[in-house]
């Protein structure tokens, strides 16, 4: 069995913030701006949108999927046929059977008002409840075999667990399309230490880089006297002091190239062979991020950035469920 056509562009757009008040300060009044973000992205070829059935806080749970579905229905213009709505289904402790995963996929599709294009397992339960994982992965495969999704992907898996799942899916004739991990100049662990890029290349899987801006730190707009609110501010405060040399290097390269720091940070991910999915909360951010595609950093600039990244003692915190 082969996967139906999914178009994977050079870069995508993350939508975790769309509906999340707790971490991202989302307000419903942002919706028209978010629709502009969607339209701008699609118009410029950024046609992959990443969401999750756990996105949205409190009563807003599922909001990101609902908004994406609405924006998709409303969109009129170029690249419509290339749009890929990718959601992640969470292996909640109460989702225990393969049917539970199929039902979760159907619920996401209902919120979006259309079928999911790419369905991804949000994280691995290998570290704490391995038997649950195989049931849920079987359900993910069922969604594909029943023609309810065009492709299957994983998230927060390391090389060892990825290989096991790949083998199991191969036995069913299903090719895993994508793996997403936290990958940025401040989060090189999954690629450098777990070797996920090499494994993906060997298995024919495309790597997606989530949080490529390290939740905004790599844009250079935050400092010890200008921190984002809440938990994000706390995390920034821990990381910023040790990241100054890296940020200075990013700034110098950005100036030299007449790009912004965000564009250079995103382009670094592209140069590493990953598809970055930076989050954007307004059209200005989206326009800037779109300016990260269509060009490449020089080899020397990538090496310089790698050198700075390797000196980081306090990187971004990894997802606790990231498997080995
Ligand atoms: N699989 C997983 O477990 C997982 C985990 C995390 C994320 N993700 C996915 O990856 C996507 C991207 O990651 P992320 O949203 O966590 O973080 P990110 O892309 O590293 O940072 C996004 C945030 O940075 C700020 N920003 C974006 N572009 C900017 C620009 N050009 N100039 C200035 N500020 C800018 C915005 O927040 P402010 O304006 O508030 O600063 C924006 O929400 C998510 O939306 C989600 O789809 C997946």
Per-residue pLDDT at 1 exceeds 60: no
Q: Are 148 and 116 in contact (CB under 8 A)?
A: yes
205 C-alpha to ligand 1 centroid (Å): 23
- pLDDT (tens digit per residue) in 197-252: 999 999 999 999 999 999 999 999 999 899 998 889 999 999 999 999 999 999 99
Residue 165 CB partners (closer than 8 Å, separation 6+): 137, 154, 157, 176
Domain ranges of the chain: 12-310
Residue 171 C-alpha to ligand 1 middle, in angstroms? Answer: 36
pLDDT in tens, 5-52: 899 999 999 999 999 999 999 999 999 999 999 999 999 999 999 999
CB 324 within 8 A of CB 162: no
Identified catalytic residue from 55, 157, 183, 222? 55
Ligand 1 atom nearest residue 278's Cα: 19
Give the distance (Å) from ligand 1 centre to CA of residue 180: 14
Q: What is the DSSP string of 273-321?
A: T-EE--B-SSHHHHHHHHTTSS----HHHHHHHHHHHHT-SS-PPPPTT
How far is ligand 1, taken at its centre, from the CA of residue 277, in Å?
Answer: 8
- The answer to whether residue 189 is catalytic is no
| CATH code for the part of the protein at 12-310 | 3.20.20.100
DSSP state of 223: B
What residues flank ligand 1, with Cβ below 6 Å? 14-17, 24, 50, 88, 155-156, 180, 210-216, 219, 221, 228, 262, 277-281, 285, 288-289, 319
Three-state secondary structure call for residue 95: coil
Closest CA to ligand 1's atom 8? 210
Whether the pTM exceeds 0.95: the reply is: yes
């Amino acid at each position: 069995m082969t996967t139906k056509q999914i178009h994977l562009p050079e870069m995508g757009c993350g939508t975790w913030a769309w509906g999340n008040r707790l971490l991202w300060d989302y307000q419903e009044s942002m919706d028209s701006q978010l629709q502009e973000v969607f339209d701008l992205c699609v118009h410029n070829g950024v046609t992959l949108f990443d969401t999750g059935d756990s996105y949205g806080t409190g009563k807003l749970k599922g909001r990101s999927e609902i908004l994406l579905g609405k924006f998709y229905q409303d969109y009129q213009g170029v690249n419509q046929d290339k749009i890929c709505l990718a959601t992640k289904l969470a292996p909640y402790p109460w989702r225990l059977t393969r049917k539970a995963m199929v039902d979760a996929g159907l619920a996401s599709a209902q919120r979006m008002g259309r079928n999911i294009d790419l369905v991804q397992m949000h994280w691995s339960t290998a570290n704490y409840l391995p038997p649950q994982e195989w049931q849920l992965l079987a359900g993910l495969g069922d969604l594909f075999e029943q023609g309810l999704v065009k492709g299957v992907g994983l998230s927060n898996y390391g090389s060892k667990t990825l290989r096991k799942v790949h083998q199991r899916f191969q036995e069913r004739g299903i090719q895993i399309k994508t793996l997403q991990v936290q990958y940025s100049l401040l989060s090189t662990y999954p690629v450098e230490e777990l070797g996920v890029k090499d494994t993906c290349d060997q298995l024919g899987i495309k790597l997606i880089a989530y949080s490529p801006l390290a939740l905004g730190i790599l844009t250079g707009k935050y400092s010890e006297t200008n921190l984002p609110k809440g938990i994000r501010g706390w995390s920034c405060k821990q990381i910023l002091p040790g990241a100054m040399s890296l940020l200075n290097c990013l700034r110098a390269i950005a100036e030299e190239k007449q790009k912004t720091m965000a564009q250079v940070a995103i382009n670094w991910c592209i140069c590493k062979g990953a598809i970055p999915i930076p989050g954007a909360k307004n059209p200005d951010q989206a326009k800037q991020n779109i300016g990260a595609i269509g060009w490449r950093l020089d080899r020397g600039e990538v090496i310089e950035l790698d050198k700075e990244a390797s000196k980081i003692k306090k990187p971004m915190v990894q997802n606790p469920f990231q498997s080995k």
